[in-house]
Amino acid sequence: AQSVWGYDSDNGPERWHENYPLAKGDKQSPIEINSKDVQHDSSLSSWHASYDPGAAKTILNNGRTCRVVFDDTFDRSVLRGGPLTGAYRLRQLHLHWGSSDDHGSEHVIDGVKHAAELHMVHWNPKHGNFAGALKQPDGVAVVGIFLKVGKTPKPEMKRILEEIENIKTKGKEAPFQHFDPSILFPKSRDYWTYHGSFTTPPCEECITWILLREPIEVSSDQMAKLRSLSKNNENEPMSPLVDNWRPPQPLKGRIVRASFK
Ligand code: SG4
Ligand code: ZN
């Protein structure tokens, strides 16, 4: 079995199950969503985020993604409503992206792969701590936002992408303060929801996915910045951190619900 999981042929998604058997479970993520198979559910209410800009702490490159970490020691940045019961605390956000604009997202919508997918990870404080939440089916809620390359790039993405200059190589971390991630939401609140897993090992099946229908736009320069991160340490040769996405997993009878018609 591979020593450390990754996204290369010797340690990539096809081999994760060797060390992490949950990766072959019945509720794995991501999935492909076919809009003709989803169930509109008029009882699904809208979701609300109330984020405290003061909760943002640091941005880091761990060699597999870039991540912004938030203070989650109390209910200061929370997500409510939609398919969720109670308030879930924002813990971190990170991205998945490709080596070119025609792939990079994890979820696939009607055959379409987007250039990138942003994940905002929240956990249910009724389970005590994050580790405890991972063991519960209602432990975690992830909001997924698709990024596509377009003519009206979202200026709000700038902050994250500027800061990337300071975390070029694996293991680098920089302060990232006063940031309200709700500025990254698209205009529409429409979403799909289903029950699934983390998209990285150990792939625990504890996630209520809330996938936003409307992508946000980024520029090709912004995508190039993401692809300029290195998955290696500073004293090693540059190796572009790209294609850090898991492909769609079997639906196995799960129903995807839509908040919209
Ligand atoms: C990324 O690798 C994050 O850096 C991980 O965060 C995260 O794992 C993982 O993605 C899976 O999250 O929304 N794609 S996902 O399902 O949050 C966790 C950390 O390693 C446990 C902290
Ligand atoms: Zn993710």
Instruction: Please give the biggest Cα pair distance in the chain.
Output: 54
pLDDT at 150: 93
DSSP annotation of 230: B
pLDDT at 154: 87
| pTM, entire model | 0.98
Question: What is the spatial distance between Cα 234 and Cα 164, in angstroms, rounded to a whole number?
Answer: 14
Question: What is the spatial distance between Cα 261 and Cα 253, in angstroms, rounded to a whole number?
Answer: 21
Q: Are 242 and 9 in contact (CB under 8 A)?
A: no
pLDDT at 155: 86
CA-119 nearest atom, ligand 1: 13
Question: What is the spatial distance between Cα 163 and Cα 174, in angstroms, rounded to a whole number?
Answer: 8
pLDDT at 152: 87
- Residue 209 C-alpha to ligand 2 middle, in angstroms? 11
CA-199 nearest atom, ligand 1: 16
Helix (H) / strand (E) containing 53: none
Question: What is the spatial distance between Cα 60 and Cα 56, in angstroms, rounded to a whole number?
Answer: 12
ipTM for this model = 0.97
Give, for ligand 1, the residue of 64, 68, 198 to mutate: max count of ligand atoms closer than 8 Å to Cβ.
198
Closest alpha carbon to 68 in 236, 184, 148: 184
Closest alpha carbon to 76 in 46, 54, 97: 54
Task: Considering every ligand atom shown, identify the ligand nearest to the alpha carbon of residue 117 and give its number.
Answer: 2
pLDDT at 189: 97
Q: Are 62 and 170 in contact (CB under 8 A)?
A: yes
The alpha-carbon radius of gyration of the chain (Å, integer) is 17
Question: What is the spatial distance between Cα 234 and Cα 228, in angstroms, rounded to a whole number?
Answer: 13
Q: Within the chain, which residues score under 50 in pLDDT? A: none
- Report the SS3 class of residue 157: helix
Report residues whose beta carbon is within 6 angstroms of any ligand 1 atom: 62, 64-65, 67, 92, 94, 119, 121, 142, 198-200
